[in-house]
Amino acid sequence: MMKNDILNTKKLGYKFYFQDGDNQIACFGSYFTGKEEVYINDDLVSSRRSVNIKSSHTFDFENSQYQVKFDMLNILTGRLECTLYKDQEVLAKQVQSSLPSAPKKAAFLF
């Protein structure tokens, strides 16, 4: 379990949290800059900028190979899928959207 929530320092972006045993994996992706960061127990293990609709981060931790994949499912709604792999097996998958899930909550001004 993380002692501090490192992603609370990040303002505008996607925040995904995964648990693998005693380790918490936190993944952040900025809405605006394309900056992506992956943390294990508050320690930065991977960082890069990406403007592509798909990207991945691969790193080793405690004798296992991890991979985090970001996949923009719908660029108009900002629907992003984040998948965590451990030793090439899917551990978990989460999807978030930058827009509210109920269309009436979204306001567009023309």
DSSP at 6: G
- pLDDT tens for 46-98 read 999 998 999 999 999 999 999 999 999 998 888 999 999 999 999 999 999 98
Mean pLDDT of the chain: 86
CATH code for the domain defined by 6-105: 2.40.128.180
Structure tokens at 3: 């002692």
Q: What is the pTM of this model?
A: 0.80
- pLDDT tens for 84-106 read 999 999 999 999 998 766 555 55
* Spatial CB neighbours of 103, under 8 Å, sequence gap ≥ 6: none
Instruction: Tell me what percent of the residues of the chain surpass a pLDDT of 90.
Output: 66
- Domain-wise residue ranges, the chain: 6-105
Q: Residue 100, SS3?
A: coil
From edge to edge, which strands make up the β-sheet containing 43-49? 13-20, 23-30, 35-40, 43-49
- Please report, as a single letter, which amino acid is at residue 57: H
- pLDDT tens for 6-35 read 555 556 789 999 999 999 999 999 988 889
**Residue 108 confidence (pLDDT) above 90:** no
